[in-house]
Amino acid sequence: MSRPRPSSRSGGLVDFFALVGKILGSMLLLTVLVASLIALTVIVGLAAGAINSQSWPTARGAVLGTVAVPISPTADPPAFVGRVRYAYRVEQTRYASNLTDFESIQWQPDRTAALAAVADYRHGQEVKVYYDPAEPEFGVIKPGKPLQPVLLLFLLWLAVLAGFATTWYVIANEIEAWRQRRWDPRISKERA
């Protein structure tokens, strides 16, 4: 038993291209959501590290200096973040890092302002370094993360889930509506 075909080819073609446009739009949304999910995965890893860092073992370290790190070499206007360079030892192995903390990055408009943000640290100053026991080369001098970014992380996670659910719902409903318009004999007769 063959399915009835709509009598108007152009109406079916318009419906088809409208469906394709909606699907492509949904695919774009899905691509953005996948990119957000990847970013969310990275942020979750950082948040977990920040929370875990509060119970990491410590080592004595020494400040090597401070540095203003550009956020992006092509940023216009330029932006910088101040970082503390320091060295420490774990089981006779020397490590060096400039990861100061897990706090949200405080971008500064110039090098001088970025260096002023870490001006409390002087060359040779002793610091307590919290290091990851599984990866001792990963250490910070300010452990933990404030509550606000963790809450924002949770809200981002909810937004990504809502986006995926919405995209799935839109695509499924559009495909089903297109199938019904395309093959339902009653709709085909109405077009005639």
Identify the burial level of 14 via C-beta atoms within 10 angstroms of its C-beta, where 0-12 means exposed, 13-18 middle and 19 or more buried.
exposed
Query: Where exactly are the structural domains of the chain?
Result: 9-49+150-191, 56-143
Q: Determine the residue type at 133.
A: P
Q: What is the mean pLDDT of each run of 10 residues along the chain (192 residues)?
A: 51 68 74 75 74 89 92 79 93 90 72 89 95 92 70 74 78 78 60 52
Taking alpha carbons only, the member of 136, 122, 140 closest to residue 63 is: 122
Q: What is the DSSP letter of 131?
A: E
* pLDDT for 81: 87
Taking alpha carbons only, the member of 114, 136, 138 closest to residue 46 is: 138
pLDDT tens, position by position, 148-181: 566 666 777 777 778 778 877 877 887 787 777 7
- Please count the other Cβ atoms lying within 10 Å of the Cβ belonging to residue 160: 18
Which residues are CB-neighbours of 59 under 8 A, at least 6 positions away? 88, 89, 90, 128, 129, 131, 139
Which residues are CB-neighbours of 64 under 8 A, at least 6 positions away? 85, 86, 87, 96, 123
For residue 25, what are its two tokens? 């739009």
The alpha carbons of the chain give a radius of gyration, in whole angstroms, of: 28
pLDDT tens, position by position, 126-136: 999 999 999 99
The SS3 of residue 89 is strand
Determine contact, residues 84/114, Cβ cutoff 8 Å: no
